[in-house]
Structure 1
Amino acid sequence: MRWVTYRSDDGERSGVLHGEVIHAAAPGTTLLELIRLGPDGLREAGERALEAPLATPRLDQVTLMAPIPRPPSIRDSLCFLDHMRNCRAATGRSRELEDAWYRIPAFYFACPSTVLGPYDDAPTAPGSVCQDFELEVAAVIGTPGADLSVVEAEQAIIGYTIFNDWSARDLQAAEGVLAIGQGKGKDSGVTLGPYLVTPDELEPYRRNGKLSLHATAIVNDVIIGIGSTEAMDWSFGEIISYASRGVPLTPGDVFGSGTVPTCTLLEHLDPTLPQPFPGWLRDGDVVTLQVQGLGEVRQTVRASAPPLPLPERRRP
């Protein structure tokens, strides 16, 4: 099933998309509430909506929101090691990775309060002149649990969606010297959408147990990068298992895959890549991200107001 959250004259609603028509669940019922019912409960709710929908708006009659507009948590991972290798090469460093990258499935916590819908305008990070996008896929947890095995972690996934990790590269670089994790370089926005696609829908795209979804990143109708989720070095099961060590995961928690290699502007600072660097995102640029089986998100970048200054500090 493909689940959506949408805004119409009736307010915020959730439902199952069938063709171009949404089969709505009961008013006031959020997709997060249905996810908390677990895979069987979500499937049964979808079957009821398809058989006896309480509304049937067409996609062109509503505004799609993020499937889960207010997720309990968002963790963004780095499951594609070629993305890190490409970023290192683009910034003049060796492509060789430290041993830790092969031992630890890296992730950081993103900002749930700046989630954007699939067609919302995307604000630049205040003060940044190096705004970037990152094409990813996200897995959403549907079963609570802690200390999950890799198999249990895979079984806990209730659906997938497109994930765009908007990134202010200049702010990210400035904060990187602090070595305490991601900050303002990352929390101006996270896009989720357009649908939450249940795992059974994606079974035709599995190859040797791995999801093989073709992905394309486009800026102003020019293809920037092309790749596949089959290139993931760390699986969702592995990253979710690692994150669950001593930590309870809850339904609706979102895990980003990390960037599909070449599907971000930063990597194209490397002159050896076939697509040259087109410049950082500017007001009015349109970013379109497409993932096989998951649909498309399309957003216009909008400039933000300058940040309010902080008092200066002098070194002692």
Structure 2
Amino acid sequence: MKIARWTHGDRLGEGFVVDGGVAPFPDGGTVAEVLTAGLPAATDLFDRLDPRSAVPRSEVSLLAPLVPAAVRDFAVFEEHVEGMSADENGQPRVGEAWYESPTFYFTNPHQIFGTGQQITPPATERLDFELEVAVVVGGVAGRPGTDLDTHAAAEHIFGYTIMNDWSARDIQAAEMRGHLGPAKGKDFATSLGPWIVTADEMAGYLTAEGFLAVRAEVYVNDALVGEDLVSNMAWTFPELLVYASRASRVVPGDVLGSGTVGNGGCLGELWGKAGGELVPPPLQEGDTVRMVVEGLGELSGSVGPSRAPHPLPPARSRPLPRARHRTG
């Protein structure tokens, strides 16, 4: 099954992708409600679908397939990390800590874009894309998404979607020198889509070890820039959920990105391997990025005009009192 959100004229639609069209959920449900109910409930809805309710895809504009509850983005492709950590000679400097656990950061769930939509980045000289696959968390009856083991985590995977973690590398590098982030280098746009493909439909792509063996490609203005197998992840998607849920909780509607694939999954990796030379060049206004993932479809996005920031003063350097002196 494929689940999508769309606009048809001035109306919002949420439902299934069927035979070249889209059809709303029976009973007028929403994607958020379907994710909460879980995969078996979604199958029941699909079985009750009235095909006469379908609208041709050519008449609708697809939106991001969900409004995420939260977005966690991992970094679990070693080749990508090697490129991003390379020194001025292009030699990787991957720290030992990367091999110990699948680390992630939280990004902005309020700046989500669908396929074909234009993003408006901040003022940046190093705009980049990141080719990723993400899992969407669904509900499992009687099992809260906390302290999951790998078996329970797999049951919480409702489906998969393509993810583009747009990145302003110069802003990202500057803020991470302060030992936090990434944040402002990435929170301006994340693209998801074109739809959610349910876990049962992708089960045939899973290896014996649980890796998703699908091919992923990224094109800039129709020129192939990167390609990799998603099965080159260092941890499986259920293992990412295990880590995310440690002493914490994942909930229906959460999105967990794989992090950028290797072999040109982003420009930053290629710049690192080239010793800092910006080849291929950073994205510019008017560029189109198209991502193609086997079994999941195509996700595209274009670059619009950048937004100049309102100025801020530097940090105040004067010493601050520890406490007010009492008077009277």
After superposition, residues 108-257 of structure 1 pair within 5 angstroms as 108-124=105-121, 126-143=122-139, 144-208=144-208, 209-257=210-258
CA contact (8 A) 2:83 2:273 kept: no
User: TM-score, normalization: structure 2?
Assistant: 0.90
CA displacement at 1:115 relative to structure 2: 0.3
CA contact (8 A) 1:90 1:268 kept: no
Residue 159 of structure 2 aligns to a residue whose secondary structure is strand
Q: Describe the shift of the 1:90–1:225 C-alpha distance in structure 2 as closer, same or farther (beyond 3 A).
A: farther
After TM superposition, the structure 1 stretch with the greater mean CA deviation from structure 2, 91-100 or 197-206, is 91-100
CA contact (8 A) 2:26 2:48 kept: no
Consecutive unaligned residues in structure 1, runs of 5 or more: none
Residue 215 of structure 1 aligns to a residue whose secondary structure is strand
Match of 1:60 in 2: 58
Residue 46 of structure 1 aligns to a residue whose secondary structure is helix
CA contact (8 A) 2:8 2:59 kept: yes
In the aligned structure 1, how far is the partner of 2:207 from the partner of 2:231? 8
Residue 193 of structure 1 aligns to a residue whose secondary structure is strand
Aligned residues: 311
Q: Deviations over 1:137-158 (max 9, x none)?
A: 0001112410000221112100
Residue 248 of structure 1 aligns to a residue whose secondary structure is coil
After superposition, residues 8-157 of structure 1 pair within 5 angstroms as 8-9=8-9, 11-26=11-26, 29-49=29-49, 52-53=50-51, 55-68=53-66, 70-89=67-86, 92=89, 94-124=91-121, 126-143=122-139, 144-157=144-157
In the aligned structure 2, how far is the partner of 1:91 from the partner of 1:15? 49
User: TM-score, normalization: structure 1?
Assistant: 0.93
In the aligned structure 2, how far is the partner of 1:228 from the partner of 1:78? 15
Q: Describe the shift of the 1:98–1:113 C-alpha distance in structure 2 as closer, same or farther (beyond 3 A).
A: same
Q: Deviations over 1:183-208 (max 9, x none)?
A: 11010101110010011211222222
CA displacement at 1:89 relative to structure 2: 2.1
Residue 117 of structure 2 aligns to a residue whose secondary structure is coil
Q: Does 1:306 align with 2:308?
A: yes
CA contact (8 A) 1:139 1:254 kept: yes
Q: Which amino acid aligns with 1:30?
A: T
CA displacement at 1:94 relative to structure 2: 4.4
Cα-Cα RMSD: 2.0
Residue 184 of structure 1 aligns to a residue whose secondary structure is coil
Q: Describe the shift of the 1:88–1:279 C-alpha distance in structure 2 as closer, same or farther (beyond 3 A).
A: same
In the aligned structure 2, how far is the partner of 1:271 from the partner of 1:38? 43
Q: Which amino acid aligns with 1:259?
A: T
CA displacement at 1:295 relative to structure 2: 0.3
Q: Describe the shift of the 1:94–1:297 C-alpha distance in structure 2 as closer, same or farther (beyond 3 A).
A: same
Match of 2:282 in 1: 280
CA displacement at 1:28 relative to structure 2: 5.1
CA displacement at 1:211 relative to structure 2: 0.9
Match of 1:294 in 2: 296
After TM superposition, the structure 1 stretch with the greater mean CA deviation from structure 2, 10-19 or 301-310, is 10-19
CA displacement at 1:29 relative to structure 2: 2.4
